[in-house]
């Protein structure tokens, strides 16, 4: 699906009564949305027969009713356009801000479900933009002309036919715009749900990343740190690193093993160069996140 168009593969076309390998359906081509020339001519002919034998009083009632219906459809179109403009304003405001703060490297490190959620949000935004642009490009409608009224011998009935014609045109255009708005609302709701879900997922991931698991294995302890967080003052990972250095200073730690998937040794490892009696080993684990490192410390 892309905006108001949907692509189907290997489907059965009910109208043509045959199997189709590729079928593109557009919202504005569906029944109830599109008003063909044949259809409007049929409606006009039935209405012409309806008013053929009506008196002046009944014709006046029909006229008032049609004026009301035309006004109602105009209001539906106006209301729909206002909502579409609101969505367009939100997209033009939020999208640049989101692109400015998104860290692609951080997104790549997310779990698959979070990445999938972000991809769905982007897909939803693309569809919203497609609907907005499609609404902007909607063609005008055909309306009755004054020349038809001027050349008619029964102007009271002719003007009713013109009102009927204009109402039908406006009704189908209003239905198209309302359909755009309803579809836009569905995509917006999907984005809100995904945003809440992703926010909760990221929050839990950050809690898991910042939480330092300590597993007692004999006289050894294991901690996990985010490499980028170690160099940030007052970060929990930085605090854990300083605590490790303090234990080394107190000579309560004699052996350290670093396990990670790093391409190069992190800068903060240089702080260990001054400890000559400390035994240090580096192990590579290709399955680990490149942004994390495990430290196994053996106590004296």
Query: Is 173 in contact with 74 (CB distance < 8 Å)?
Result: no
d(CA 36, CA 85): 28
d(CA 43, CA 48): 9
d(CA 115, CA 133): 27
Per-residue confidence (pLDDT) for residue 68, from 0 to 100: 92
* Strand, helix or coil for residue 30: coil
- Looking at per-residue confidence, does 88 or 300 come out higher? 88
Q: Would you say residue 65 has pLDDT above 80?
A: yes
- At 267, the pLDDT band (50, 70, 90 cuts) reads confident
- Long-range CB contact pairs, 153-159, < 8 A, 24+: 156/56, 156/59, 157/48, 157/51, 157/52, 157/59, 159/63
Pairing of β 292-299 and β 220-226: antiparallel
Q: What is the mean pLDDT of the chain?
A: 78
Q: Would you say residue 79 has pLDDT above 70?
A: yes
Per-residue confidence (pLDDT) for residue 260, from 0 to 100: 84
- At 71, the pLDDT band (50, 70, 90 cuts) reads very high
Q: Would you say residue 126 has pLDDT above 60?
A: yes
Percent of the chain surpassing pLDDT 90: 3
Q: Once rounded to an integer, what is the mean pLDDT over residues 141-169?
A: 72
Q: Would you say residue 210 has pLDDT above 70?
A: no
Among the listed residues 147, 124, 129, the one whose alpha carbon sits nearest the alpha carbon of residue 197: 124
- In sequence order, the 6+-apart residues with CB closer than 8 A to the CB of 90 are none
Backbone angles phi, psi at 293, to 5 degrees: -145, 140
Residue count (the chain): 300
SS3 content of the chain, % helix, strand, coil (to 5): 60, 15, 25
Q: Would you say residue 129 has pLDDT above 50?
A: yes
Q: Would you say residue 214 has pLDDT above 50?
A: no
Q: Once rounded to an integer, what is the mean pLDDT over residues 263-283?
A: 79
Q: Would you say residue 300 has pLDDT above 50?
A: yes
Backbone angles phi, psi at 77, to 5 degrees: -65, -45
Q: Would you say residue 62 has pLDDT above 50?
A: yes
Among the listed residues 177, 168, 167, the one whose alpha carbon sits nearest the alpha carbon of residue 139: 177
d(CA 50, CA 59): 10
Crossing angle between the packed helical segments 155-210 and 56-101, to the nearest 10 degrees: 20
Domains of the chain by residue range: 28-209, 220-299
Query: Is 272 in contact with 278 (CB distance < 8 Å)?
Result: yes
Q: Once rounded to an integer, what is the mean pLDDT over residues 41-63?
A: 85
């Amino acid at each position: 699906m892309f905006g108001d168009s949907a692509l189907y593969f290997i489907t059965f076309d009910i109208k043509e009564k045959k199997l189709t390998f590729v079928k593109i359906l557009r919202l504005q081509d569906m029944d109830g949305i599109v008003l063909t020339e044949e259809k409007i001519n049929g409606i006009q002919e039935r209405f012409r027969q309806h008013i053929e034998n009506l008196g002046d009083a009944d014709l006046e009632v029909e006229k008032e009713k049609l004026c009301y219906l035309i006004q109602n459809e105009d209001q539906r179109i106006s209301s729909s356009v206002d909502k579409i403009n609101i969505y367009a304003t939100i997209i033009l405001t939020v999208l640049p801000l989101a692109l400015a703060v998104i860290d692609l490297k951080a997104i790549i490190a997310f779990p698959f479900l979070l990445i999938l959620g972000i991809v769905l949000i982007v897909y939803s935004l693309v569809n919203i933009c497609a609907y907005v642009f499609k609404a902007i490009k909607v063609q005008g409608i055909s309306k009755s002309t004054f020349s038809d009224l001027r050349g008619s011998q029964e102007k009271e009935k002719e003007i009713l036919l013109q009102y009927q014609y204009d109402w039908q045109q406006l009704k189908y255009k209003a239905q198209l715009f309302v359909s755009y708005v309803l579809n836009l609302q569905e995509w917006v709701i999907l984005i809100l749900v995904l945003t809440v879900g992703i926010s909760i997922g990221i929050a839990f991931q950050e809690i898991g990343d910042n939480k330092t698991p300590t597993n007692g294995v004999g006289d050894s302890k294991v901690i996990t740190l985010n490499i980028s967080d170690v160099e940030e003052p007052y970060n929990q990972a930085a605090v854990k690193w300083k605590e490790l250095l303090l234990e080394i200073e107190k000579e309560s730690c004699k052996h350290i093993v670093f396990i990670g998937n790093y391409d190069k040794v992190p800068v903060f490892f240089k702080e260990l160069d001054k400890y000559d009696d400390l035994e240090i080993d580096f192990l590579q684990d290709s399955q680990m996140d490149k942004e994390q490192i495990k430290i196994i410390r053996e106590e004296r």
